[in-house]
Amino acid sequence: MKRPSSLLQTNSILAMLTVMIVMVVMVMVSGSFAAPPAPTDVVAEDLPADGGGAAMVTWTIPTGVDGLEGFQVWRTEAVSETTSRVGNERGAALLGVQNQAYQNEYQRLVGVEGVAPEDASMQARIVARQAVIDQRDSVTPTETGPHGRFWVLVDTVSADTDRLQVGKLSPSDEYRFMVYTVAKTADGGVAKSEASAETGMVLPAASGIDVKRLPLFFILLLLCGSVLFFIHWARSGRPITIRKIAGLSAVDEAVGRATEMGRPILFVPGIQDMDDLQTVAGITVLGRVAKTAAEYDARIEVPTSRSLVMSAARETVHSSYLAAGRTDAYNPDLIYYVTDEQFGYTAYASGLIVREKPAACFYMGCFFAESLILAETGNSVGAIQIAGTAMPSQLPFFVAACDYTLIGEEFFAASAYLSGEPDQLGSLKGQDMGKIIVGAVLIIGCLIATVAVITGSESLMHAVDWFKDSVLSA
């Protein structure tokens, strides 16, 4: 019986040793590798008053976590992301189907039916294409992520943060969120907690008003308000002066010269359609040029690059002739469509200049590379040339080759300048106020940003960031 008793004794010792080892290991594990607790009360809500695509995730920071590093916020994959991932898998599978079907059919046609390779290739392509269509629905992705969805890491935030605004979401997709605690371990490593409880589904839908765009809205109100105020100001009879714009003052001179020389006037309203405001501004100038031409009995020719511009130009010129009391002299055939094609139009207009040798050329509207070709050709026939555009890249060419150039805003001011109406002049004054506001904002912004960099002031940095993120990116 000694043996059993010694056996029992041995077993007891082994049992004790095992328990001790387990306890030591547990102590070691709890001392250095214990996972930190997960954050609690994780809640996600759609961000109110935004343009959609943003949610706010909040949580309670667990207490008593040694070496707390921060929190990882994860979100579920959006439907579009799932579609994209699944699409990749399905694309690869369908390509295999396509290749296999093509190979099989091609070999059958060439090897068994003796079809010529070129014809076989064509027929095999049809079969392969059909195979892809037939098997589209049978190819399904094999993989699914945890909880039936894949998770995407949104961001890692610092230990003292209990909320994160998650942007760049799809306003039409629903999302769940979960948060992990990240802490440093005793040996310098990093441990991550269990996942927190998942939040409920959140739809980051667009709200009735996008508050992010409110600063832009206020700027709009300010600008429009100043324009309206000065229109009112001008209507009340207060004098508003406008500086002389040489290009517009020269209209009479140019038309007069054309009349004296018995040569036509060419008016080019740019190469864009009526949805471009430059074309609208060009048509405005055309109205004045046509009226003067009607009064002087000069011939004005308007080739256009867009059909709608032709219609608008005819209407304008007709009204001008009417206003000048010369409807009999109005000829709609001199306002005609040439082609939408940029260089086709340029070739026509250049040819017209060389053949007809107009005494005055007006280039008023939106121009691209054709600006210099037209202006230099006009210069070569000795025409007096007046240009106006808001295309910064073409301004140097017009300045070099034309007698007068309306630069950017001068061009848009033409309507007010030519009409001389108080409403229009008041609006110009309002625009000047807009310039003062923009200038002031620029100077203040630059000063704050400079001081923030020099002093390292956090509050100023925040102000600069807010300005950049809200006002400038709206």
Site for another protein in 22-81 (CB under 8 A): 50-52, 80
Q: Which residue in 15, 48, 200, 336 binds another protein (CB under 8 A)?
A: 336
Residue 467 and residue 215: Cα distance in Å, rounded? 9
| DSSP character at residue 110 | I
Question: Minimal distance in Å, beta carbon 294 to another protein?
Answer: 13
Rounded to a whole number of angstroms, the minimum distance from the CB of residue 401 to another protein is: 5
At 59 the three-state DSSP class reads strand
* 413 near another protein, rule: CB under 8 A: yes
CB of 39 to another protein, least distance (A): 28
Beta strands, E only, 258-409: 265-268, 300-304, 335-337, 360-364, 384-389, 404-407
CB 55 within 8 A of CB 175: yes
Query: Any contact of residue 444 with another protein (CB under 8 A)?
Result: no
Which residues on neighbouring strands pair with residue 387, listed in sequence order?
Answer: 363, 405
Q: Which stretch binds another protein (CB under 8 A): 6-14, 158-166, 247-255, 266-274?
A: 266-274
> 70 or 408, CB closer to another protein?
408
Nearest distance in Å: CB 27, another protein: 45
CA 195 centroid distance within chain: 37
> Per-residue string for binding with another protein, 294-323, x by CB under 8 A?
------------xxx-xxx--xx-xxx--x
Q: Give 39 or 269: the residue with its C-beta nearer to another protein.
A: 269
Least CB distance to another protein at residue 160 (A): 27
Give the one residue of 281, 294, 324, 359 binding another protein; rule: CB under 8 A.
Answer: 281
- Judged by CB, which is closer to another protein: 17, or 95? 95
Of the residues 434, 445, 448, 471, which one makes contact with another protein according to CB under 8 A: 434
In what helix (H) or strand (E) does residue 101 lie, and over which residues does it extend?
helix 79-107
The phi and psi torsions of 66 (rounded to 5 degrees) equal -75, 135
**Which one among 19, 400, 446, 447 touches another protein, defined by CB under 8 A?**
400
Q: Which residue lies nearer to another protein by CB, 27 or 222?
A: 222
Neighbours of 76 (CB within 10 A): 24
Q: Decide: is 185 part of the binding site for another protein (CB under 8 A).
A: no
The binder of another protein chosen from 347, 448, 449, 451 (CB under 8 A): 347
Cβ 28 to another protein, closest distance in Å?
40
CB 274 within 8 A of CB 312: yes
Using the minimum distance from each CB to another protein, give the nearer residue, 6 or 307: 307
289 binds another protein (CB under 8 A): no
**Site for another protein contains 259 (CB under 8 A):** no
CA separation, residue 439 to residues 241, 296, 443 (Å): 22, 44, 6
Distance CA 356, CA 343 (A): 19
Q: Are 89 and 141 in contact (CB under 8 A)?
A: yes
Which of 273, 357, 445, 457 lies at the binding interface for another protein (CB under 8 A)? Answer: 273
Report the C-alpha gap between 464 and 462 in whole angstroms.
5
Element housing 192 (H / E): strand 190-192
Out of 5, 392, 454, 459, name the contact with another protein by CB under 8 A. 392
Percentages of the chain per state (helix, strand, coil), in multiples of 5: 55, 15, 30
Residue burial 198-230, b: 16+ Cβ < 10 Å; e: rest: bbeebebbeeeeeebbebeeebeeebeebbeeb
The DSSP secondary-structure symbol of 175 reads B
For another protein, the binding residues in 78-137 under the rule CB under 8 A are 80, 83-88, 90-92, 94-95, 98, 122, 125-126, 129, 132-133, 136
- The answer to the question of residue 446 lying near another protein (CB under 8 A) is no
Tokens standing for 302? Answer: 């308007």
Please, which of residues 215-244 interact with another protein by CB under 8 A?
A: 216-217, 220, 223-224, 227, 231
Judged by CB under 8 A, the residue of 54, 412, 452, 464 near another protein is 412
Q: Which stretch binds another protein (CB under 8 A): 146-154, 237-245, 337-345, 451-459?
A: 337-345
58 burial (CB, 10 Å; 0-12 / 13-18 / 19+) is: middle
Binding of another protein at residue 470 (CB under 8 A)?
Answer: no
Residue closer to another protein (CB basis): 39 or 314:
314
